[in-house]
Structure 1
């Protein structure tokens, strides 16, 4: 006879199992069990990683008595006070600075907005923060670089955004324009550094100058293997700002951090990067943005799956639909066939095999790529190589010279050990 407690536990288990399988937009005919993607405890730091924002004692004096502008979004989280005591709950940096009687006068918001709810590429409008009453200036759309009048009455600018280490992730493009504007107006810039969750990966073709755009502003590979603070040092040191100006830059470094350490983001960096797996696969799957293939926008597995109506029917399918961060996703309402990568082991380089496979299997190769692909790749060569059937090993071989030069240049700006 089954006891009452066992019966209740069995029922609870079945209910949870049913709920966890309830997403009808993504379908598997032949479910597979994949190895987990959790970091081993052996690689975890003995002391907690503190971000630049957590090291308040290192930048408090730089802000005291100054009128402060801040480039920020929901990833600007503070967990420790100036005495290294953990806060009872995480604070947004803006709230934390105001709580410590510092004079924040203006917020600057990058792509996805201050609250982080806008679609990729969606126009962000100026406004006012409902919680603090502070004015919000958009740094996306037609106003990617702060204007001189928008910087009036600002004595110091703080930059605190969580990057993911990919050239086309536009927060580093916003960093460029903020550095340039501050340099031109003689305003010191403080970058509060944060770990790069893909910090040990350097891979992909180097951006060629003729493909410079907001999704690729500098001659670097797709995955650059630097924190945003290190990257700011490179922008300054290589004189990539307009007319060779240099920012009055101060980087507040992370502590207890090494580049090869696993780092799970406490807040998703943008609406379509909901977890560690999507962040790890982002650079590889984002190349699909330059094709007719969906990488899961409009599902709950963004940047963890790929597929399209033009690929052969298979055991895996999904149907994109409007959701937060994808109001009108590619192939909205259409059944897409492809692959589910949500459970595969962590990748350690830029993966081309899914892109190559999709191109080889698509129903009409002439309409597979669009004009955006070369901007994402930073070169026309990658599309030409794939179209010509060049093996992945040969494609990678063509990157070696550029990657070696970049790695040599990069060493001058590094803050952290591997």
Structure 2
């Protein structure tokens, strides 16, 4: 039988189906819960994994106070279970700078300079340490670039403003700045230098000096990891050179600073744990060894984020599973009921020559038409919801970018929902096929 005849009969049965409204509603709810709730759940879970995998989220900083980090102490720390590496800090690890200008061979960018003059700028510069890497989405990685290079965030906002509380930020076009020179001055007019003299921790402020960094790449900035809108990264070698430059610019106490540089055992150490879940264990072991550690890892996180993630995960699993089961059970029931109520009609179709496969195709196509209607309505609602969510959060504060759903992810989950919308009615009809095959032409006379 040609498809157009099968479709004609399926549509005729469709119009007489009394259960269309309920099935369409359930399928629409299934699609919405899958595409919206699941998209948000996966988006948040991905962000949490990015956080857990970030080098700084797994790094504990320890400092000398009651003891120095001699070779025996370092060896003991390295031998703690779950410790991946122990790195001695002999570079500028973290320092705040103001922007003087961004320029190239043609001079200063006047439009950017106007913004820098109008607003207070603030850059948080981190140097990589040990095995730390920062991959880029455009340009070069730091290990491919010369000294005094830097990578900037995809969402770049180098102004002194609370980006976690301010909506509608106008981020700079990061990729257009690749190859430009970023000229910085230590924030507050001083380069802050913390050090240990073998007995006491000390801090000195070194008068400001210019730092010129070539922007070589752009890294993906996540609200939970990988820095922030005003965080830039330089290589470990660049961090060491900046440390030396700071010492050379010191007006007083230069001898003491040079003594600190030449004694690695006076330096802070960075202990990287193999897995985020093992951080508490390593903390406890360090405390047993009477080693002073800075509270919390180098990269913190909003405590509400894991709770929101867990909530969306539970909602996603519960709604999707519950709706799928209810839809399947009801469609199976309606399929059995349809065969039972259409016994005479099916018997008549067999009497005039219709085979089981042809009748099965008509009934299955009828169910597919119903579920596809529900799928279309569900997709229309979910696509609108995702568009609105992305629009709201993309124009919100930086922290809320965690809720932005990637279009590729949404399309993938929509494809999964489409597959379910097709498979569920087909499986239901297959399960009632034996009842269909038992109906004989004589049943048309009942």
Q: Quick check: which has more Rg, 1 or 2?
A: 2
Structure having the higher helix fraction is 2
TM-score scaled to structure 2, two decimals? Answer: 0.23
TM-score scaled to structure 1, two decimals? Answer: 0.24
